A and B are shown apart, each in its own frame.
Chain A
Amino acid sequence: MMFIKENFDVASLRFSWHFSKSQLKLKYRYTFLGFLWNFIEPALYLVILSLVFSVVNRMNIQDYAVFLFSALVPWRYFEKVVATVMESIVSGDWLLKKMYVSPIAFPINKWLISSFEFLFSIFAVFVLFAIFKENWSIHLIILPLAILPWAVFGFGIGMICAVSYLRFRDVKPLVQMILILTFFTSPILFSSNVFTPGSLQAELMNYHPITYFAALFQKPLYFLTWPSLLDWIVSFSISALALVSGVYLFIKHKSKFYYYL
């Protein structure tokens, strides 16, 4: 109980919430289209990607777009959370060097902002789905639960990266490379059906963590089925593990943060 009181004090959490609101306002204050960018930017990105890769993959564009969007949208959210949470503590030096605040206020702040922007991009995706997607099914209702492991996984990995980045600034390019590698080897751009069953590649796919995370979205949206029990178990346990290790690292090294800012 002591550690909750120490790290999640009300003042720091209130600060985190209000700081997120101020930053969101600030971000769109000087833009002509303002909040609309939250719809336009992901929509444009998705349309371009689906145009290019449907040609490369020789797939029906409409079909491919639905497949691609379903897992790419949560992946982009995950990637954003990891990248921003990673830098959050280092970029919070303006306050951490002058006033007491639980340093966890900064990772939470970045997580809140990314999550908020993600909610907006969902609207954009559903507009696109309305154009491309022909079959709709009841399985959609599982999506709010399906985003949960993505959100927790992103925060956990982000925290691990934030503490390591504080200690070694080399971590940033390294993490970016790992994210790219993870993305291009995961079944987000291509379906795992492209490999012959039993082949080495198909076998390897079973060991790729993102396979299970992606399935949570691809199955209800593209394959029109429920995610399997295995998908839930694997994704929830991996994300819980990431969260626990992230928070553990954070608490263990918290008192030394000032010296590395």
Chain B
Amino acid sequence: MSIFQLNNVFVEFTKHSLNELSLRELLGSNFKRKKSEKIRALDNISLQINEGEHIGIIGRNGAGKSTLLKVLAKVISPVSGQVIRNANKNIVPLLELGIGFQADLSGRENCILAGLLLGYTHSEIEQRMKNIISFSELESFIDEPVKNYSSGMYARLAFSIATEINPDVLLVDEIFGVGDEFFMRKSVVRMQKLMAKGVTTVFVAHNIDFLVEQCDRLIWMDSGTVKMDGNPHEVAAGYRDSATKLKLVEKN
């Protein structure tokens, strides 16, 4: 069963978007007709993700990996193209250090807000709260505002919430870099359990060995396009190959 189906998806960002936000720019552009530069973050992406697949996305910085995850998570609407999501699945995003947290609210309150957004009721989250707190090891900080958290604590809480509330699909963007060694191992074990249970996962990571080990499909992205898609070993080899070539070019 297909979870995501992307057809010819384009995402464009405007460069110098700071100026774009002023009224002067609008009035000015009528006279000057200056075309602002566009960056194609996703350039004609078509792909299908099926239930139970474990997908790793690799590529250089700025290749569009995170943008792709945000499109899957419904955070970004593409400029053109079609995104079909399986409506019955609980899609849980874990983007850049976690889910959206409001800095002034406590960890507990943020847990509840995140849970509500993921479709749970207040009491359902309260039931899971104990597990979330104990897994994140934040017992003594849970009622502190999250602005006082370290980045490791922040990521721990986000990871605990996202994995505790029975996700069907997990979208994970580079979260294993934070947190200490112990928590990292603990969370990898938990991820593996979820994956074994059949949770569809999409990872973005720079640790290619990790992805080759965990995933059954790898997608290599390069400047907004899919360069290779398929068997993890082959794609990883292709990616590494291009990296060594690049190094050679730089040496000469």
Chain A interface (Cβ < 8 Å from any Cβ of B):
11-12, 14-15, 18-19, 22, 26, 94-101, 167-171, 254-256, 258-260
Residue of B24, B75, B99 with most partner-chain A CB within 10 A:
B75
The 26 listed contacts between A and B (C-beta, < 8 Å) are A11-B116, A12-B117, A14-B116, A14-B121, A15-B113, A18-B112, A18-B113, A18-B116, A18-B122, A94-B101, A96-B100, A98-B95, A98-B98, A99-B73, A99-B75, A99-B93, A99-B100, A99-B117, A101-B100, A101-B117, A168-B21, A170-B22, A170-B24, A258-B70, A258-B75, A258-B76
Q: In the bound complex, how far is the Cα of B14 from the Cα of A167, in angstroms?
A: 13
In the complex, chain B residues whose CB is within 8 Å of the CB of A100: 73-75, 93, 117
Q: Closest residue to B76 on the A side, CB-wise?
A: A258
Instruction: Report the contact-size class of chain B (Cβ under 8 Å from the partner).
Output: 35 or more
In the complex, chain A residues whose CB is within 8 Å of the CB of B23: 168, 170-171
Q: In the bound complex, how far is the Cα of B165 from the Cα of A11, in angstroms?
A: 15
CB <8 Å contact, A169 and B105: no
Q: How far is the CB of B89 from chain A (nearest CB, A)?
A: 13
A22-B77 in contact given A11-B118, A170-B22, A259-B14 (Cβ < 8 Å):
no
Is B13 part of the binding interface, using a Cβ–Cβ cutoff of 8 Å?
yes
Q: Closest residue to A260 on the B side, CB-wise?
A: B21
Q: Closest residue to A15 on the B side, CB-wise?
A: B116
In the complex, chain B residues whose CB is within 8 Å of the CB of A256: 77
Q: In the bound complex, how far is the Cα of B100 from the Cα of A18, in angstroms?
A: 15
CB <8 Å contact, B113 and A19: yes
Q: Closest residue to A99 on the B side, CB-wise?
A: B100
CB <8 Å contact, B100 and A94: yes
Q: How far is the CB of B56 from chain A (nearest CB, A)?
A: 21
Which residue from A12, A94, A167, A259 sits with its C-beta under 8 Å from B102?
Answer: A94
In the complex, chain A residues whose CB is within 8 Å of the CB of B113: 15, 18-19, 22
Within 8 A of A (CB), among B81-105: 93, 95-96, 98-105
In the complex, chain A residues whose CB is within 8 Å of the CB of B99: 98-99
Main secondary structure of the interface of B (DSSP, over half): loop
Is B216 part of the binding interface, using a Cβ–Cβ cutoff of 8 Å?
no
Residue of A12, A94, A100, A167 with most partner-chain B CB within 10 A:
A100
In the complex, chain A residues whose CB is within 8 Å of the CB of B102: 19, 22, 94-95
Q: Closest residue to B118 on the A side, CB-wise?
A: A11
Q: Closest residue to A171 on the B side, CB-wise?
A: B23
Q: In the bound complex, how far is the Cα of B28 from the Cα of A170, in angstroms?
A: 14
A169-B21 in contact given A98-B95, A99-B100, A99-B114 (Cβ < 8 Å):
yes
CB <8 Å contact, B22 and A168: yes
In the complex, chain A residues whose CB is within 8 Å of the CB of B76: 258
Assuming A169-B21, A170-B24, what are 20 further A-B pairs, CB within 8 angstroms?
A11-B119, A14-B121, A14-B122, A15-B116, A18-B116, A95-B117, A96-B100, A98-B93, A98-B100, A99-B114, A100-B73, A100-B74, A168-B22, A169-B22, A170-B22, A170-B23, A255-B77, A259-B14, A260-B17, A260-B20
Q: How far is the CB of B96 from chain A (nearest CB, A)?
A: 7
In the complex, chain B residues whose CB is within 8 Å of the CB of A167: 21
CB <8 Å contact, A26 and B104: yes
Q: In the bound complex, how far is the Cα of B101 from the Cα of A256, in angstroms?
A: 22
In the complex, chain B residues whose CB is within 8 Å of the CB of A98: 75, 93, 95-96, 98-100
Q: How far is the CB of A173 from chain B (nearest CB, A)?
A: 10
Within 8 A of A (CB), among B32-85: 70, 73-77
Q: Closest residue to A9 on the B side, CB-wise?
A: B119
Q: In the bound complex, how far is the Cα of B21 from the Cα of A260, in angstroms?
A: 8
Q: Which 5 A-B pairs have the closest CB atoms?
A: A95-B100, A255-B77, A100-B74, A170-B23, A98-B100
Is B174 part of the binding interface, using a Cβ–Cβ cutoff of 8 Å?
no
Q: In the bound complex, how far is the Cα of B74 from the Cα of A14, in angstroms?
A: 19
Is B26 part of the binding interface, using a Cβ–Cβ cutoff of 8 Å?
yes
Is B109 part of the binding interface, using a Cβ–Cβ cutoff of 8 Å?
yes
Q: In the bound complex, how far is the Cα of B23 from the Cα of A171, in angstroms?
A: 8
Q: In the bound complex, how far is the Cα of B75 from the Cα of A100, in angstroms?
A: 5
Q: In the bound complex, how far is the Cα of B112 from the Cα of A169, in angstroms?
A: 32
Q: How far is the CB of B39 from chain A (nearest CB, A)?
A: 11
Q: Closest residue to B119 on the A side, CB-wise?
A: A11
In the complex, chain A residues whose CB is within 8 Å of the CB of B74: 100
Q: How far is the CB of A212 from chain B (nearest CB, A)?
A: 31
CB <8 Å contact, B75 and A26: no
Q: In the bound complex, how far is the Cα of B104 from the Cα of A94, in angstroms?
A: 11
Q: In the bound complex, how far is the Cα of B75 from the Cα of A254, in angstroms?
A: 11
Q: In the bound complex, how far is the Cα of B17 from the Cα of A98, in angstroms?
A: 20
